[in-house]
Amino acid sequence: MEKWFNVGKIVNTQGIKGEVRVISKTDFPEKRYKVGNVLFLFMPNSKKPIELTVKSHRTHKNFELLTFEGYNNINDVEKFKEGILKVPESQLGELEEDEFYYHEIIGCLVATTEGEEIGKVTEILSPGANDVWVVKGKGGKEILIPYIQDVVKKVDVKEQVILIDPMEGLLS
C-alpha cells in the first residue's frame, strides 16, 4: 500500500478564476507546486483522492496560490476547501546529504553529545534563515533547537536520534 505525505491544505478560494489558497506543509514548495506536477487531493469524507495537475503557482502573503488544469472557475474549486494535498512516497525523490524530510525528523529523540536526553521533536518551524525544531522536553516544556551546524551535530533518521551540542542558554 502506498504511503502518502502532506503537501498542504486548501483553506479557501482566491478570486473567480479557479485559484485556491493553500497553507503549505512542504519543505520543497518550488518542487511540489511546479507547473505540470501532479498532486492528490484528499477530501474529509472521501476514500479516493482526486488527481490534480498544477496549472499555475504563485505565492501571496503566507499562502501558496494554485490553479489546476481543467478547473477554471471558482465553482469548480469551491468544493476543494478543507481538502489536503498529498504526494505518494514514490514522488519524494532523493535528498542531498544533511537534508531531511519533515516526517523523518518529527518523532526523533534529541540528546546532547554528553548523552543527556532532551526530548522528542514534535514540530518544525520555518521562520526564515534556518528551520527550528520544537522539542517536547521533560515535564512538557517546549525547547526550540535551531537547525544549524553549530548546534545539530548528528542526525540519524534510521535510529531516530539527533545529537546536539547546545550553545549557552539554549536549554535553560
Whole-number pLDDT of residue 11: 95
Residue with cell 521562520: 127
| Tens-digit pLDDT string for the chain (172 aa) | 678 888 899 999 999 999 999 998 887 788 889 999 999 999 988 889 999 999 999 998 889 999 999 999 999 999 999 999 998 877 776 666 677 777 788 899 999 989 889 999 998 887 777 888 899 988 888 999 998 888 999 998 888 999 999 888 788 7
Whole-number pLDDT of residue 85: 94
Whole-number pLDDT of residue 94: 67
Whole-number pLDDT of residue 72: 94
What are the structural domains of the chain?
A: 4-91 (2.40.30.60), 102-164 (2.30.30.240)
Q: What is the DSSP string of 74-123?
A: HHHHGGGTT-EEEEEGGGS----TT---HHHHTT-EEEETTS-EEEEEEE
Whole-number pLDDT of residue 168: 84
Radius of gyration, alpha carbons of the chain: 19
Output the pTM of the full model: 0.64
Pure H helices in the chain: 29-32, 74-77, 102-105
**CA atoms 66, 72, 75, 80: torsion sign:** negative
Whole-number pLDDT of residue 54: 96
Whole-number pLDDT of residue 105: 87
Task: Please tell me whether residue 32 adopts helix, strand or coil conformation.
Answer: helix
